Structure formats: C-alpha cells, structure tokens
Structure 1
C-alpha cells in the first residue's frame, strides 16, 4: 500500500505526537538509494526507517490479534522481548533485522512508528505516561 500522500513530503510532513502525547515530531516519505524511506524528525534528530515497516508491522499485529507493548529503546539499548521495538530489530521479522536505516539512529521504532500507524488508521495506541501498547485495527 502506498502511504506517500497521507504521510507527506519534506515540505509538508505529517505532524505527530509520541504515544504519551508529550513530544511532537514529523514524519515524511523520501527516497534514499533508490528506495522509499520514512524520515522521522524529532527536533534536530533525524531517523530513517524502511517504509515497508508499516505494512509488515500491521500484518504482525493482525496475526497477533491482541495488544503488544511498544518498548521503545535507543539503538544501543537491549530490548524487552515481545515488544514492538524488539520485533523491529528481530532477525525473525520480514526484513530479517532492523527497520531503522541510519547507523546510530536505528532505535526508537516503538516510539515513532506506532503513532504514524494510528494516524493512518491501521492501529490503536494507548497514550499513558509509560508502558504504552498497540494493536491492529
């Protein structure tokens, strides 16, 4: 599925809030090395994710059929098993590893991708101060 129009461009990105609703960030679609990527900008930090993570994560959530903890962590921090963050780095996911593409900035998948999926109507996300979860719509 092509989400380019809904997610936006560098000039007109989608504005989102982290699951606890405490910080704002933007997401847009761009091209790098001949393939579409998601560009997530949090203040001055820029993260890149493989755009196929949207469809892959949605399929995983649908198959699971229940809530899963987000478990967001920086790239260098170990993840908690059975979380979105852990799945986003797992050799068992459809890309066989990281959806994050920018060395040093591959983490926080569980922080920034779930609100995007919620905005696209693909998932429900809780909005507590900590321990947020998501499930497929």
Structure 2
C-alpha cells in the first residue's frame, strides 16, 4: 500500500465544520513542493512549506486563532489564519495559494490537513472555527 498523501493515496479530509469532503496530496510542480487540494472539480495549489510555517506561527501565537476562510477576491478578516496566509509579513511574503484566482480559502483547507498530521487542533463548529498548534 502506498503512503498516505500521494496522488494514488490522497489524504481524505473534511472542512472544519465537517460539512464537505475534499482530498489533498503532496506533489511537485515547476520544481516546487506543493499541496494539491481537490474540492469537487476544482483544484487548488498551496506551497508545501505552509505546513511548517503555519505551525511555527501558531506555536509563537500560543493560543487559539480564528480560521477566517475567504475567497481570494474577498478581504480576509485581520488576525485570522486566512489573513496570515496572504500577508506580506509571513515567511513567503504573500500568498501560500499558488493558483491565481484560487489562492484563497487557505483557512478552510490547510487546517484540517494540519490536524490530520498531528500539528494542530481544530474546533468543528458550524461557523467561526479556530485552531492552535499541538
């Protein structure tokens, strides 16, 4: 059996409210390690280093942080994981999302993967979910 997190054996995940299913796997695109996120017929890409960077930021933050998921075209609420995932002050100096037009939703899709990997704890409420580092 192949290792989980590959295209042949994807990570099967649910959004933080546990309302929708999606899949992710690690891949390489243009020489860069990426996380491929497949939501229905939509494919999003995130820089793979976001997992370590977000974990380090959450450790330094030391408490629960609101996810604040938003589409790329909408502003992210200040002080949220989504805002950090597109901030010029994060370690990559901007978006962790790599597919123009689909760079948002960082706060929706990356946190459940971090939970699955044992890097973070999430709340699973209908709205306003939060996460913290493990």
For this structure pair, what is the TM-score category when the shorter chain's length is used for normalisation?
over 0.9
For residues 11 and 116 of structure 1, the distance between their equivalents in structure 2, rounded to whole angstroms, comes to 17
Q: List runs of 5+ in structure 1 lacking aligned partners.
A: none
2:13 maps to 1:19: no
CA displacement, residues 98-126 of structure 1 (integer Å, 9 cap, x when unaligned): 00000111000000000000000000000
1:60-99 matched pairs, under 5 angstroms: 60-99=57-96
Q: CA offset at residue 12 of structure 1?
A: 1.1
CA contact (8 A) 1:8 1:29 kept: yes
Pairs aligned (count): 133
Measured in 1, the distance between the counterparts of 2:4 and 2:54 equals: 16
1:9 aligns with 2:21: no
Q: What is the Cα-based RMSD across aligned positions, in Å?
A: 1.0
The CA deviation at 1:41 is: 0.3
After superposing on structure 2, the runs of 4+ consecutive aligned residues of structure 1 that deviate more than 3 Å are none
State the TM-score, normalizing by the size of structure 1: 0.95
Q: 1:73 to 1:41 in 2, by over 3 A?
A: same
Runs of 5+ consecutive residues of structure 2 not aligned to the other structure: none
Partner of 2:29: 32
Report how far residue 6 of structure 1 moved.
6.0
| Distance (whole Å) between structure 1 residues aligned to residue 3 and residue 65 of structure 2 | 25
- Cα deviation per residue 1:66-95 (whole Å; 9 max; x = unaligned)? 000000000100010000000000000000
